[in-house]
Amino acid sequence: MRTKRSLLAAAVLFVGCKKEDTPVEPLSSLTPPPLPKLVAAASGHGSPEDARFQVAPAEVYGEPVPAKALRVGLAGESVRLGEERFAPSRPEDQARLRERVKGQAVLLVPDADTFLAQTSELLAVLRESASEVWLLHPDAPVAYALVLRDEQGFQAWLAEVAPGKLRIIQRQDGFELTTSVGKLPGPDANGPSVPVRGGKQDIATLRTGLGKLKGRFTTSEDICLVPSFGMELAQAARALSGVYVAPGEPLFETLCFVYPTPRAPAVAGAPTGR
């Protein structure tokens, strides 16, 4: 009897030791898998060395241009609506423009030289008063419906608890594709996800990269374009074509467009800070 009790106690001790020796899964296993590296689309011309500087051709996709939208032509810090001209930085012009676009769909028609920093007051008026805001592609008869967010609104969007939070950071040297778990790596770990090639935007590779992100974040329905505020609005419009894989077929249903928060108007008698 004593021998059986000893054997039973030894067996219990052995089983207990085996449970304690079972390795615990490391916390690193809970980390999401890294995003895949993005390879530039092949241009199909020249040697592999030359291909680094050649942009692959990319079809321009978007939505049909809304026929009944008010066309607002941009020219620097002034805008044209029909026969009227407005300078949205002036409070009196802001008020007139707000009344003209109230409850209307608006189509922004950028010129080649209007920078995003010059549009902040205009975009703030449109976000407040227009029912829809569209941006016309400068090279093709397609347009993009935008959800406008200023810098504060963009930060509030980022703070929402949701997977993905996908954004295209558009810089002079290329596109940075950023997510809630980091950026999509490109050919240079320290550079943008989609570098400029031969001085041109690489829309084909941008489209490929966004497809990879959609495959990873399948429930994400919105994406934000965050252009450099010193960039031409027309260049930002060209980038939006990369969100589409065919006419009228965007990878993401909602296109958020981030613009600089307008400067507060000067107050008479306020200190200047000098």
What's the pLDDT at 270?
43
Quote the tokens at residue 35: 């995003």
Question: Is residue 223 within 8 Å of residue 167, measured between CB atoms?
Answer: yes
Taking the C-alpha atoms of residue 256 and residue 253, their distance in angstroms, rounded to an integer, is 10
pLDDT at 14 over 50: no
User: Residue 189, by phi and psi: left (phi above 0), alpha (psi -120 to 50) or beta?
Assistant: alpha
Start-to-end CA span in the chain (Å): 97
Q: Is the pLDDT of residue 125 over 80?
A: yes
The three-state secondary structure class of 228 is coil
- For residue 25, pLDDT over 50 is answered with no
| Predicted pLDDT at 26 | 47
Separation CA 81–CA 73 (nearest Å): 7
pLDDT of residue 40: 67
Q: Residues 262, 126: contact at Cβ < 8 Å?
A: no
Q: Are 50 and 88 in contact (CB under 8 A)?
A: no
Q: Which residue has the higher pLDDT, 254 or 39?
A: 254
The confidence score (pLDDT) of residue 268 equals 42
Whether residue 228 is predicted with pLDDT greater than 80 in this model: the reply is yes
Lowest-pLDDT choice from 199-203, 231-235, 260-264:
260-264
Confidence of residue 55 (pLDDT cuts 50, 70, 90): confident
Specify the pLDDT at position 273: 42
Q: Are 234 and 75 in contact (CB under 8 A)?
A: no
How confident is the model over 231-249, as a mean pLDDT? Answer: 97
Cβ atoms of 112 and 74 within 8 Å: the answer is no
Higher pLDDT, 51 or 263: 263
Q: Report whether pLDDT(28) > 80.
A: no
β-pairing, 166-171 with 142-149? unpaired
| Matching residue, tokens 């399948």 | 218
pLDDT, one tens digit per residue, over 91-120 is 999 999 999 999 999 999 999 999 999 999
What pLDDT, on a 0 to 100 scale, did the predictor assign at position 187?
86
Q: Check if the beta carbon of residue 242 is closer than 8 Å to that of residue 62.
A: no
CA angle 144, 150, 153 (to 5 degrees): 105
